[in-house]
Structure 1
Amino acid sequence: MPKNTILELAVCTVSNKPAAEEARRAAMAAVKAYPGFVSWRPLTALDHDDMIADLVEWTDKASAEAAAAKVQADPAFAPYMAAIKGVTLMQHFETLETF
């Protein structure tokens, strides 16, 4: 039976979408080395010029929470954090068995 993973969904507003997406690429490169990282799927809203989202998969909730604390001090993450105007949603979800 496969182990459930944790999906982290962050929906944000940004001042400059192209600049935020560029900063996000650098942040993604850094986060790939964090313990428990599985994948990161960057999303961009089609109907909102100022909205982006990130879907990050972690092996477990403890890894996701540790990463949330680590990004606060990670210099590679600072430009991305600065590009974010506001966070609409930041939530963790447990994956369930698919049918």
Structure 2
Amino acid sequence: MTQKTVLELAVCTVADKPAAEKARQAAMAAVKTYPGFISWRALTALEQGDLIADLVEWSDKESADAAAMKVQADPAFAPYMAAVTGVTVMEHFATEGTI
């Protein structure tokens, strides 16, 4: 049986990928304490040099929404948010199944 969770997918462009990836590590360390957090997969595009993505799993949509509000004031997220120059996709998905 598949546990129903929520996946948050953010696909972003950055001006300085090494700086963004360093800032992302600090953000990842902070989010581990957020209620409802399950996991965060940090992705880096192989073909497009300025593209990164984050796949964050939450226990439910309410936890994801609360985290979205919390990161706005969390100093650990400020450098990562500043490193992002554009957001291509920011969406939440229900987990329907895995193999």
Q: 1:18 maps to which residue?
A: 18
* SS of 1:62 mapped into structure 2: helix
Give the Cα separation in 1 of the matches to 2:2 and 2:48.
36
Give the Cα separation in 1 of the matches to 2:95 and 2:86.
26
The C-alpha deviation readout for 1:3-52, integer Å capped at 9, x for no partner, is 30000000000000000000000000000000000000000000111000
Give the Cα separation in 2 of the matches to 1:84 and 1:91.
16
Give the Cα separation in 2 of the matches to 1:50 and 1:8.
20
Identity %: 73
Q: 1:79 maps to which residue?
A: 79
- The one-letter amino acid paired with 1:37 is F
Structure 2 portions without partners, runs of 5+? none
Q: 2:34 maps to which residue?
A: 34
Give the Cα separation in 1 of the matches to 2:77 and 2:98.
33
Count of matched residue positions in the alignment of Structure 1 and Structure 2: 99
Deviation at 1:68, TM superposition (A): 0.5
Structure 1 portions without partners, runs of 5+? none
The TM-score normalised by the length of structure 2 is: 0.96
Runs of 4+ in 1 over 3 A off after TM superposition: none
Give the Cα separation in 2 of the matches to 1:42 and 1:96.
22
* Cα root mean square deviation, aligned: 0.9
- The one-letter amino acid paired with 1:87 is V
* SS of 1:25 mapped into structure 2: helix
The C-alpha deviation readout for 1:37-91, integer Å capped at 9, x for no partner, is 0000000000111000000000000000000010000000000000000000000
Q: Is the 8 A contact 2:2 2:98 kept in 1?
A: no
